[in-house]
Each structure stands twice: as structure tokens, then as C-alpha cells.
Amino acid sequence: MVTEKEKEIIAGLQDAVIHYKVDRCRELAQEALDSGCDAYTMTMEGLAGGMQVVSQKFDTHEYFVPETLLCAKALYAALDLLKPHIKAQDDRGTGEVVLGVMQGDVHDLGKNLIKAIFEAAGWTVHDLGRDVPLKNFVETQLKTDSDIVMMSAMMTTSMIGIKKLIPMIKEKNPNVKIMIGGGVISEKVVDDFGADNTADNAPNALREAMDMLEAIRSGAV
């Protein structure tokens, strides 16, 4: 059960992320640790909760790239303190993921939030960045033997690359799981392109990834 103190710090972290208050974010993260608050809860509900609002502001053109970068800076200022204190929340273990934004697309806010949440949960994230050539996804998955490849696309023009890329990855490793996301991705796109899953936000992406990881390790692929 979340205490009143935790609720207060969560609200403060959300506000600090939304209004890109780097020092305040760091102060609240330290206060959370000093008060014995759960670091995972602070990360998911406070930091991720704030970034979800930032993402909405970006989508409605209230925020633009400079503001979102400042928000991300505030998030990481707190995450640097909280991350070493996060306890595993799932006894199914953690995995490795290759993560990147499709070639021709530079919208990486969602990708950066995914990275922060997965790293906070103890996953190894191979972040390819944005505007990533298709072959880089394939090569990195083979090199790292990552469990999941995650691709983001915010435009229909970059989304088309996903349809080409999934068979390229599956040909090399039929068992790897594919998660796709972004503003133009729907359940129909997932089915049509042959992906395994999608998620509408970073915490849900982590939950879906855990389910896929369990399927991989149980042999139910």
C-alpha cells in the first residue's frame, strides 16, 4: 500500500519531470530513499507517470523536442539515484532487448522512456538510437542474442520498414520476439506485419516483455 509520504513524493516527481526541474527531481529522489520509499514505485509512478504526461504534451504540440529533452534530463537525474535501489519486481528474471527508432524517423521520446523503464527494471538495453538502418537491428540481435527486438515508428513512411525488417530478423532467429510501438502502430498493424506484440505505454511494454520472456524461456515460442 502506498503511504501518504510516498504519494506526496510521487506527485512531486511527476511535477518535476513535467516541468523539467532537474535539481528538484534529484532532491525528491534522495528524499524518497532517505524516507525508505520503494524505489521501483517512485520510478514507475513518479518518473514514468510524469513522462507519460510529457508524451501527451508532445503529441498535442504543447511541448516540442527541446522541452522533452529537458524533461528526460530531469528523469535521468532522479533515476541515477533510484536505480541502484530498485529490487526485482518479478521472479521471472530479466532479459536483453534491442531497441531503436526506425530508419527515416527521429521521434525518440517514447523510445527513451522505454529505455529508462527497462533499465530501471534491470534489463540490458542495447539502444540503437533513432533513424536506425534495418540491418543494424538484425546485426545487433545476432551479436547480443537479445530476447526481444523493439522498434518504434511515429510515421507511416518509417512504419513500412518494420514490415521489411521483421522477416529479416525472424529468418536469422525464429525464436526472437518482436514488439513494435509508436503513434501509427495498431493491433491490426501488429497482425499484418507479423510482430508479436505492442503496448500503449512504457510500463505496459515492460509487462508484455516479461510475458514474452517467460514464453521464450519455457519453450512456448
Report the CATH number that the domain containing residue 136 is assigned in CATH.
Answer: 3.40.50.280
Same domain? 75 vs 128: no
Same domain? 176 vs 153: yes
Is residue 109 predicted with pLDDT exceeding 80?
Answer: no
Q: What average pLDDT score do residues 143-157 get?
A: 94
Number of domains in the chain: 2
Cα R_g (the chain), whole angstroms = 17
> Are 128 and 213 a contacting pair, CB within 8 Å?
no
CB within 8 Å of 188: residues ≥ 6 apart = none
In-domain check, residue 91: no
Which of 33, 52, 85 marks a domain boundary? 85
> Are 182 and 154 a contacting pair, CB within 8 Å?
yes
Q: What average pLDDT score do residues 174-200 get?
A: 93
Same domain? 151 vs 188: yes
Mean pLDDT of the residues in the chain? 90
| Cell of residue 41, nine digits | 514505485
Per-residue pLDDT, 88: 59
Q: What is the pTM of this model?
A: 0.78
Q: What average pLDDT score do residues 88-92 get?
A: 57
Same domain? 199 vs 118: yes
| Cell of residue 85, nine digits | 535501489
CATH code at 10? 1.10.1240.10
Same domain? 68 vs 133: no
Q: What average pLDDT score do residues 199-213 get?
A: 86
Q: How far apart are CA 2 and CA 38, in angstroms?
A: 9
Q: What average pLDDT score do residues 179-195 get?
A: 93
> Are 182 and 195 a contacting pair, CB within 8 Å?
no
More confident residue, 55 or 105: 105
> Are 42 and 111 a contacting pair, CB within 8 Å?
no
Is residue 117 predicted with pLDDT exceeding 60?
Answer: yes
Q: 96: which strand partners? A: 124
Same domain? 43 vs 101: no
Q: How far apart are CA 76 and CA 70, in angstroms?
A: 10
- Look up the domain containing 118 and give its range: 96-218
Q: How far apart are CA 117 and CA 122, in angstroms?
A: 9
In-domain check, residue 62: yes
Q: How far apart are CA 114 and CA 209, in angstroms?
A: 11
Q: How confident is the model at residue 212 (pLDDT cuts 50, 70, 90)?
A: very high
Is residue 196 predicted with pLDDT exceeding 60?
Answer: yes
Is residue 94 predicted with pLDDT exceeding 90?
Answer: no
Same domain? 137 vs 81: no
Same domain? 44 vs 149: no
In-domain check, residue 210: yes
Which of 54, 85, 116 marks a domain boundary? 85
String of b and e for 140-168 (b: at least 16 CB within 10 Å)?
Answer: bbeeeebbbbbbbbbeeebbebbeebbee
Which of 85, 120, 142 marks a domain boundary? 85
In-domain check, residue 90: no
**How confident is the model over 18-55, as pLDDT tens digits?**
999 999 999 999 999 999 999 988 988 999 889 889 87
